[in-house]
Amino acid sequence: MKNIENKINKAFHNIDLPEFDNKKLNEKKGFVYMEKKKRNIVPYLVTTCTLVFCLLIGFGIYNNNFKVASKIGIDVNPSIELKINKKNKVIDVIANNDDGNKILSGMDLDGSDMNVAINALIGSMVKNGYIDELANSILISVEGNSEAKNEKLRQEIVNQLNANLTNNNFSIVSQTVSNNQSLESISKEYNISLGKAQLIQDIIANNNLLTYDDLANFSINELNLISSNNENIKVEGNASDKAYIGFDKAKEIALKHADVTDVTNYEIEMDYDNIIVYEIEFKVDNTKYEYDIDAKTGDIVKYDIDSHRNIDTSNTESTSNTISRDEALDIALKHAKANNVTTKKIELDDNSYEIEFIYNNKEYDYDISLTGKILEYSIDSYYYDDDYNTSHAKITRDDALDIALKHAGVSNVTNTEIELDDNEYNIEFRVNRQEYEYEINATTGKIISYEIDN
Amino acid sequence: MELDSYLEKISFNDHQAFDDLYNLINTNVYSFALSILKNHDDALDITQETFISIYHNAYRYQSQGKPMAWILTITKNLAYMKIRSNKKEVDINNIEFKTNDNYDKILINYLLENLNDLERQIIVLHSLNGFKFHEIADILDLKLTTTLSKYHRAIKKLKELMKEEQ
């Protein structure tokens, strides 16, 4: 199997790629060019001054009163958009989702002042239970043609909200929105407001491992919680994490599992990885610990312990005292306190054994020197599907190797590699200059395919 | 030098580190972009854009020991944005090879023409970057089992195709 992958690797490296064009680095990025709306200029068609005059006055009235000057998005879970004119009076109100419709029903906000309307809407959201002490975040997004005006409006709204909401523990997330095509297509695709799409975009820009699929269904409070430390997002007040176990509890759980009494230097933040988690990182001596803890239940959903190779010991190694493949595996198993493992790989490489196995839904990686020293190891636990994990392997790794060796008619082999994936052993070994590759069914021991390469 | 330390230097505008990183991993980025876009010119564009994004966003990278996953997720996001804006046909003839190796060309053509999108992406991530399957599953938002079975199906397809070729 490695064989074809090596060929793919080689083929791609044979592609001639150009040098990087350093000029491109100086191009301004993240700058969104807003096209001005084209206006109809009438003079050529108009024959009389009076008509021009009337039109200009009419245009002015239209501009001040009926033309949408800005759009204000309010997202909690209900998502509502206010269209306002130059005088900050509401021209139109639209609900972007069903919860928004519930809030709007029976409310007539047309013609009212922007701040009055926002207050009424937020009041109704509190009354209907959309904002409470478990989820206290409100997203305000201001969209319009002038960034300066947007920013001014944003400040005005936030100040007004702060003044009105003093008795309540709210967290107000606010932003100005530059409408652009990619944002609009995301908002349409996920059926979320432009403001929410931009908030998610900012979060993803900070953590590229997240996706729109992950976050589109999040409430604003959840987004607020995981967007900590993001300078693009302006937040007043703290998002409520009362629905979760809290930072201190999460840290306690991780330290207990790692069997470490206290760490001075650690990082903790809320993150999302299929569920909302507390992500904790700390280092003790040469070992790095990483935990993901379910923010609701406190369960450890994932952890990674990484000890780094001690270079001194690997260099002073003598080659006289070499251990066998099985002895290396024993050392790793003893260290992992594991038995009955699904071995995925044992490879002799550069004077050390690389061993990979699965035990208790965790992936263990060891690098063991020929003298039996553990040079490096990592334990990685992750979501592991039970149906896959209950491996149907009936024959052992050694049996599988025997079958392959017998078939090949050889006995003294070097550089063996055995991997168990998807109930198939993939075995590679060399005899002299020939490379053998076998795929063997792990239940029946039947040879599925083999290849001999010179 | 580890990728982490390249990114740290780049975050302080170290141009040398940036050039070195480009030469080190441009093939990895390009191949993953090609596996999504199936078009050489688009893949080159996205490779450039990925590195521009790395240059401007390196300070945002928080070391989690997964710099390559971070970089390739940028590539993925940029590539998907590109797909949304224009769909182009597969065109192997635009790709220039350093040596005139027909086998390489055929192999890459098979990857582009005969594997489906996810199969191709998994194969590229596994064979060029040595990611573990659960890491690939994370990058592509797939279940581990799906990743494994698609991987095996893809490898089988490729083997059979290349056998016919020989």
Closest Cα in chain A to B159: A4
In three-state secondary structure terms, B97 is strand
Residue with tokens 């052992």: A396
Instruction: Report the alpha-carbon distance of residue A84 to residue A72 in Å, rounded.
Output: 8
Residue B5 or A106, more confident: B5
- Cβ contacts (< 8 Å) between A213 and chain B: which residues? 141
Chains A and B form CB pairs within 8 A to the count of 131
B73 touching A (Cβ < 8 Å): yes
Indicate the residue type of A94: I
Residue range B75-103: average pLDDT?
79
**Mean pLDDT, range B92-112, rounded to an integer:** 84
Nearest to A384 among B48, B99, B144 (CB): B144
**At residue B116, does pLDDT exceed 70?**
yes
Option in A15, A17, A382 nearest B134 (CB): A382
pLDDT value at residue A229: 65
Pairing state between β A362-369 and A352-359: antiparallel
Q: What is residue B89's three-state secondary structure? A: coil
- Mapped to the 3 state alphabet, what secondary structure does chain A carry? CHHHHHHHHHHHHCECCCCCCHHHHHCCCCCCCCCCCCCCCCHHHCCCHHHHHHHHHHHHHHHHHHCCCEEEEEECCCEEEEEECCCCEEEEEEECCHHHHHHHCCCCCCCCEHHHHHHHHHHHHHHCCCCCCCCCEEEEEEEECCHHHHHHHHHHHHHHHHHHCCCCCCEEEEEEECCCHHHHHHHHHHCCCHHHHHHHHHHHHHCCCCCHHHHCCCCHHHHHHHCCCCCCCEEECCCCCCCCCCHHHHHHHHHHHHCCCCCCCEEEEEEEECEEEEEEEEEECCEEEEEEEECCCCCEEEEEEEECCCHHHHHCCCCCCCCCHHHHHHHHHHHHCCCCCEEEEEEEECCEEEEEEEECCEEEEEEEECCCCEEEEEEEECCCCHHHHCCCCCCCHHHHHHHHHHHHCCCCCEEEEEEEECCEEEEEEEECCEEEEEEEECCCCCEEEEEEEC
Test mutation, A5, A15, A202, chain B, max B CBs within 10 A: A15
Q: Which residues of A touch B123 (CB under 8 A)?
A: 5, 8
Any CB–CB contact under 8 A between A11 and chain B?
Answer: yes
Domain residue limits, chain A: 35-63, 68-236, 247-307, 311-389, 397-453
Residue spans per domain, chain B: 1-91, 101-166
Identify the CA nearest to A391 among candidates A431, A366, A425, A346.
A425
Amino acid at B50: T
How far apart (Å, rounded) are the C-alpha atoms in residues B51 and B59? 13
A17, A32, A291: best to mutate for the B interface, most B CBs within 10 A? A17
Instruction: Report helix, strand and coil shares of chain B as percent, to nearest 5.
Output: 80, 0, 20
Rounded distance between C-alpha atoms, residue A207 and residue A272, angstroms: 10
**Domain at A247-307: CATH code:** 3.10.450.40
Q: What is the CATH number of domain B1-91?
A: 1.10.1740.10
For residue B91, the SS3 value is strand
CA distance B52 to A314: 39
CA distance A90 to chain B (A): 35
Question: Distance of alpha carbon B33 from its chain centroid, rounded?
Answer: 5
A271: nearest Cα among A216, A214, A187, A197: A214
Instruction: Give the closest of B52, B66, B149 to A24, CB-based.
Output: B52
**CA-based nearest residue to A262, from A245, A246, A282:** A282
Q: Give the number of other CB atoms < 10 A from CB of residue A202.
A: 16
Of B126, B145, B158, the CB nearest to A385: B145
Least Cα distance to A199 among A140, A130, A253 occurs for A140
The ipTM of this complex is 0.87
CATH no. for A397-453:
3.10.450.40
Confidence tier at B19 by pLDDT (50, 70, 90):
very high
Strand pairing category for A266-273 and A275-284:
antiparallel
Q: Which of residues 220-259 of A touch B (CB under 8 A)?
A: none
Q: Judged by CB atoms within 8 Å, which residues 366-425 of A form the interface with B?
A: 380, 382-385, 387-388, 421-422, 424
Question: Chain A contact for B32, CB < 8 A?
Answer: no
Indicate the fold that domain B101-166 takes in CATH. Answer: Arc Repressor Mutant, subunit A (1.10.10)
Structure tokens at B92: 């192997």
CA-based angle A408:A413:A418, to the nearest 5? 80
Interface contact B11, partner A, CB < 8 A: no
pLDDT, tens digit only, all 454 positions of chain A: 457 888 888 899 989 898 888 777 765 443 322 233 333 444 444 455 555 555 566 666 666 677 888 899 999 988 999 999 888 889 888 888 888 888 888 788 888 888 888 888 888 888 888 888 778 889 999 998 888 888 888 888 888 888 777 656 788 888 888 777 788 888 888 888 888 998 998 888 877 677 888 888 888 888 888 886 666 678 877 777 878 888 888 989 999 888 888 787 888 888 876 678 888 988 887 788 888 888 888 888 777 787 765 544 444 445 556 888 888 888 998 888 888 777 667 888 767 888 888 887 777 888 888 888 888 777 776 544 433 333 456 788 888 888 998 888 887 776 777 877 767 788 888 887 788 888 888 888 888 888 887 6
Q: CATH fold of A311-389, please? A: Nuclear Transport Factor 2; Chain: A, (3.10.450)
Hey, what are B161's tokens? 């195709």
Fold match between domain A247-307 and domain A397-453: yes
Token pair 């650690």 in the structure block, residue? A266
Span between the terminal Cα atoms of chain B, in Å: 40
Taking CA atoms, A285 is separated from A183, A252, A288, A291, in Å, by 45, 19, 8, 17
Q: What is the mean pLDDT of residues B65-92?
A: 80
| Per-residue model confidence (pLDDT) at position A309 | 58
Put simply, the answer to whether B65 touches A30 (Cβ < 8 Å) is no
Please indicate whether, in this complex, the C-beta atoms of B84 and A11 are within 8 angstroms of each other: no
Q: Of the candidates B65, B99, B152, which has its C-beta nearest A421's C-beta? A: B152
> Cβ separation of B148 and A185 shorter than 8 Å?
no
- Which pair of tokens denotes residue A409? 């008619």
A272 vs B24, residue with greater confidence: B24
Residue A300 sits at φ, ψ, to 5 deg, of -80, 115
The answer to whether A423 touches A442, Cβ cutoff 8 Å, is yes
Q: Which of A5, A7, A208, A357 is most worth mutating to test chain B (most B CB atoms within 10 A of its CB)?
A: A208
B109 vs A: CB within 8 A: no
Report pTM. Answer: 0.46
Q: Which of A2, A13, A14, A213 to mutate to test the interface with B (most CBs of B within 10 A)?
A: A14
Contact A15 B27 (CB under 8 A): yes
Q: Would you call B162 an interface residue with chain A, using a CB distance cutoff of 8 Å?
A: yes
Is B145's CB within 8 Å of A388's CB?
A: yes
Q: Which residue of A lies nearest to B156 if distances are taken between CA atoms?
A: A1
